[in-house]
Amino acid sequence: MTTPNNTDNLSSEFPVPEVVIQRLPLYVRVLTQYSSAGEEVISSEQLGSRLQMTPAQIRKDLSYFGRFGKQGRGYDVAMLEHQLREILGLDRTWNAAVIGMGRLGRAVVSYPGFAPEGFKICAAFDTSNAIVGKTISGLHVQSISQLTESVKELDIKIGIVTVPIDHAQEVIDALVEAGIKSILNYAPLSPKVPEGVMVRGIDPVLSLQSMTYYIR
């Protein structure tokens, strides 16, 4: 199997569409499942079948990062998974902080699925005096006034916002001021952020609303 050539140059010359970047983790998930099952080769048809995508779309997505595999032979599962993890930065550990330790925040810090994928939640923050100082899922809850100091001390790169919508923008502003450029936002809000800051929103209600189109 061939490995990607000059992927850095390709990415700089041809900007990768956002929708392609969002699909890469789906490819990694399927490849991981195939690898765990002992499979060594996978075709674009097999990937497409698992992800309800056309083989042509998968080949086009991967072409942004170089050449993988050979026509008629498919992709080396282990090699492609490794390369995509490297492209996504999943070959290292990323420290994250959760802001808002209500029911949602507590659920997030107790979720066991982050650590195996390289995301370490190493700090938790809140504004309530009733919560600050408590230990939740092994984390000492700090006041949000300590955010900037902790971000630097713990090398936190990702902020996870689990506060009510009324406080989401001010919390996101505080994260940006602290130097955080990657934010996962659970509040049903489209926040204002400066250029260079990436915000991903998670809104289950929106997902449910789109699903009802198919069952109405």
This prediction has a pTM of 0.87
In sequence order, the 6+-apart residues with CB closer than 8 A to the CB of 19 are none
160 C-beta neighbours (distance < 10 Å), count: 25
Q: What is the CATH number of domain 7-88?
A: 1.10.10.10
**The CATH number of domain 94-207, selected from 3.20.10.10, 2.60.120.10, 1.10.530.10, 3.40.50.720:** 3.40.50.720
Closest C-alpha to 97, from 201, 187, 182, 194: 182
Strand order from edge to edge, sheet including 94-99: 135-136, 139-143, 119-126, 94-99, 156-161, 182-185, 198-201
What residues does each domain of the chain span?
7-88, 94-207
Burial of 101 (0-12, 13-18, 19+ CB in 10 A): buried
Write the pLDDT tens digit of every residue in 81-122: 999 999 999 999 999 999 999 999 999 999 999 999 999 999
pLDDT (tens digit, 9 = 90+) per residue, 160-185? 999 999 999 999 999 999 999 999 99
